[in-house]
Chains A and B, each alone.
Chain A
Amino acid sequence: MKKIFFFKTKLQFFLFFIFFFILVPLFSQTLYTWQQISGNWSVVSDNKESYLRENRGRSFNFDYSPLINHNSLITNQEVTFTTLSHSFALNAPATTTTFFTFFNALDYRQFYAVQFTGNANSIHTIAIIQSSIKDTTLPKQAKGNFTITTLATKEISLQYGTTYTLTITVQGKTISAAIDNAQVLSHTLNEELEGGKIGFASKNCIPIIDNLVVYNGKEIVFADDFSKESIKKIVLQGRKLTPQEVEEEKKKNK
């Protein structure tokens, strides 16, 4: 029988090929739970506990989507849910701040969210918002092609540095938001939600998030206690050109 490298049979070689070039890349792609859209998100562990934190604070208006304009991350998995809850705490910002938990995200411009807004003193407003595409005929690369609609809003008074539990409930067409198990806001849509990705977004603050649990009825369909890092991030590798390389580039461009 003819050997292929160190494989005794063609079948062994074939199985090895399938495993390393098809299954390994396939599984390695599904290892990440989260995709970082913008900012610098990480799982932080100290001796007592671990949690999710955004470390940059400052966000940039690239303006392709509301999510890239904030510091945000999104699940790789789509979920349909009835209850979503997690704990969160925000640090005090220098000026105004925004933090929201989004759900039913079809992409970075179409989603619903429960949003908190604060000034330098406290978190003063909770709102249910909807982001949608302004002009569907424009290409996805178009800047500013999205609209944020406030569906419901209420004044609240939450303190920075204090941990709260946010619970979002979807019952039929109605979205409700509760803080520490006390309902504060609800809104009824025209249509039932069909599910989508979920995630977090912040601007001008450092949010700390923990104990995310998502139920569909009594079944847990997604959960993360942020005990291990599972965030896919885009990294670009750059380097400084030498004066000689700069000259060569100039000649190339002439």
Chain B
Amino acid sequence: MTKNVCIALIIASMVIVSGIGCNNDKTELAWINEAGEAINDIIWANGDEHWSKSGGYNDGEQTESKEVSKLNGTVVAAIWNGSDFDDGTVIIAETGSSSLSLNEGSSEVYTIESVTP
């Protein structure tokens, strides 16, 4: 009886450990600026992740790929308007909105193609 309980516990532990291992998939997100002008900050999912660079990400530049914990969120960016910074909403073509859903465990890259002031 005790032996059976021990075996059951071992099996349960192995299942739990393997389950945790399965959930270790990293979801990564990166951005390419092709908007023609510098983008200084990009914020994902209410601050779940923040890309920022002094002087901004120049046209054609790719941000570092960062691990994100939230799979659903919206995207906002800070843009230099010539005299100050404004925050701009990023409209994603696939969703037609600033909302975005990532696939768990994927490494996705989005490009920002234009800024409409």
A249 B55 Cβ-Cβ under 8 A: no
Binding-face segment, A11-19, A210-218, A229-237: A229-237
A108 B84 Cβ-Cβ under 8 A: yes
* Smallest Cβ-Cβ distance to B55: which chain A residue: A141
In the bound complex, what is the Cα–Cα distance between A239 and B110 (angstroms)?
6
A237 B114 Cβ-Cβ under 8 A: yes
Q: Does A101 reach chain B (CB closer than 8 Å)?
A: no
In the bound complex, what is the Cα–Cα distance between A240 and B100 (angstroms)?
10
The number of inter-chain residue pairs (CB within 8 angstroms) is 117
A60 B110 Cβ-Cβ under 8 A: no
Interface of chain B, main secondary structure: strand
Binding-face segment, B1-9, B12-20, B40-48: B40-48
Expressed in whole angstroms, the minimum distance between the Cβ of A223 and any Cβ of chain B is 25
Q: Which residues of B lie under 8 Å from residue A107 when comparing CB positions?
A: 83-84
Q: Which residues of B lie under 8 Å from residue A39 when comparing CB positions?
A: 87
Q: Which residues of B lie under 8 Å from residue A232 when comparing CB positions?
A: 117
Q: Which residues of A lie under 8 Å from residue B55 when comparing CB positions?
A: 141
Q: Does B22 reach chain A (CB closer than 8 Å)?
A: no
Q: Does A35 reach chain B (CB closer than 8 Å)?
A: yes
Q: Which residues of B lie under 8 Å from residue A233 when comparing CB positions?
A: 88-89
Q: Which residues of B lie under 8 Å from residue A140 when comparing CB positions?
A: 83-84
Interface residues of A (CB under 8 A from B): 35-40, 58, 60, 62, 64-65, 67-68, 107-109, 140-141, 232-241, 245-246, 249, 253
Interface residues of B (CB under 8 A from A): 31-32, 35, 39-41, 43, 46-47, 54-56, 62, 75-81, 83-94, 108-117
Q: A234-B88, A234-B89 are in contact. List 11 more A-B contacts (CB 8 A).
A: A64-B40, A234-B115, A236-B35, A236-B39, A236-B90, A238-B75, A238-B90, A238-B91, A238-B110, A240-B94, A245-B109
